[in-house]
Amino acid sequence: VSIPLPGALSVFGITLIPDFATLQNSRLAFYLLAVTLMVVCFAIMYRLVNSRIGKLCKSLQQNEELASSIGVNIAYLRVIAYAVSSFFGGVSGAIFAAISQSIYPSSFTVTDSVNFMLNCFLGGLGYVFGPMLGTLVLYFGWDLLFQTGQFQLLIYSALMIVLMLVLPNGLLSLAETTRKKG
Regarding whether 143 and 94 lie in a shared domain, the answer is no
| Domain range for 34 | 3-106
Q: Residue 10: left if φ>0, alpha if ψ -120 to 50, beta else—which one? A: beta
**Strand 14-17, strand 9-11: pairing:** antiparallel
User: pLDDT at position 179, please?
Assistant: 84
User: pLDDT at position 11, please?
Assistant: 41
The DSSP output letter for 51 is S
Regarding whether 52 and 24 lie in a shared domain, the answer is yes
Largest interatomic CA distance in the chain: 62
Structural domain ending residue among the three candidates 51, 71, 106: 106
User: pLDDT at position 112, please?
Assistant: 81
Structural domain ending residue among the three candidates 106, 123, 156: 106
* The total number of structural domains that make up the chain: 2
pTM of the predicted structure, to 2 decimals: 0.69
Regarding whether 92 and 11 lie in a shared domain, the answer is yes
Angle, alpha carbons 144-148-153 (nearest 5°): 120
Angle, alpha carbons 133-115-29 (nearest 5°): 60
3 bridge partner residues: 103
User: pLDDT at position 82, please?
Assistant: 94
Regarding whether 148 and 88 lie in a shared domain, the answer is no
- pLDDT average, residue stretch 155-179: 84
Regarding whether 63 and 20 lie in a shared domain, the answer is yes
User: pLDDT at position 61, please?
Assistant: 84
93 or 73, which is more confident? 73
